Amino acid sequence: MWGPKLFCLTKVKQVALFFPIQYTIMINQIVIIGSGNIATCISKAFKSKGLEINQVYSRNLAHAVELAELVSAQAIDDLTKINPNADLYLIAVKDDAIEYVSNHLEVKGIVVHTSGSTPIDVLHKHKKHGVFYPLQTIKKEHQPEFITMPILIEGNHEFELKALHELAEKLSGQVYEVTTRQRQSLHIAAVFANNFTNHMLAMAKQLMQDNELDFELLKPLIIRTALNAVENDPLKVQTGPVMRKDSATIEMHLDLLRNKPTYRQVYEMMSQSIRDFHSVKYQ
């Protein structure tokens, strides 16, 4: 009579011994380290989602105060005064300062940086660490729309990665888990797509001004070029004198740039790159 019951009880105990323990990291209280463009915009975004910004650190106390007042946080300029019990420490400083800051933190929560090119390993001092990289050009004077902004995350363990994923999803509908190598490659691509492109536009504007022309004339072309690139494969919508094999126009352009050696060098380099990329051969 007791045999079957005892057997069943023992079986239940065995199952309980091997039942996996669920472990979750909840991120509610955040310390922001930095007061520049990314620190400002991401702090405001977190605050708008009901998260608590506990402290804002900056080497310049006035800068810390300026951001702290926006998000109802404590402003500090001493790393030793950072609250060690927050859930997340977001390092948004220049890349060459990330490791220094990390090494001077004595905290218990997850430590992350926001850099596109810095390896996750610079945060190795901390048991829980990762990367929280918003892929967008950000200026604090204009709060970006985080909901359409890709956020790339990386974590040193599954639990940290899950916590960062849940945090990122509070801000964005585009959250991606990537490795350090993938993030660095993406960052290079972003430099080409954003920084270099913007510099080309600055050079174009200067050429217009040098010849008493209004930059407004180029804006419809700039907009159409950007739309073509995002609506199609950029490789398939390349136009211009190189693609037409128009040597006469290219030589004329180079002659007009003879007193602008930097512009001429860039023109020649870009023309050669287009030739190589598209295997354009001249007779």
Domain boundary among 178, 200, 233: 178
Domain boundary among 124, 144, 178: 178
Q: What is the pLDDT of residue 283?
A: 52
Same domain, 79 and 194: no
**196-248 pLDDT tens trace:** 999 999 999 999 999 999 999 999 999 999 999 999 999 999 999 999 999 99
CB under 8 Å, gap of 24 or more: what pairs does 240-245 form? 240/274, 241/271, 242/271, 242/274, 242/275, 242/278, 242/280, 243/274, 243/278, 243/280, 245/280, 245/282, 245/283
Range of the domain at 159: 29-178
Q: What is the pLDDT of residue 21?
A: 47
* Torsional class of 34: left (φ above 0), alpha (ψ -120 to 50), beta (otherwise): left
CATH number of the domain enclosing 55: 3.40.50.720
**263-279 pLDDT tens trace:** 999 999 999 999 999 98
Same domain, 132 and 190: no
Read off the pTM.
0.85
Total domain count for the chain?
Answer: 2
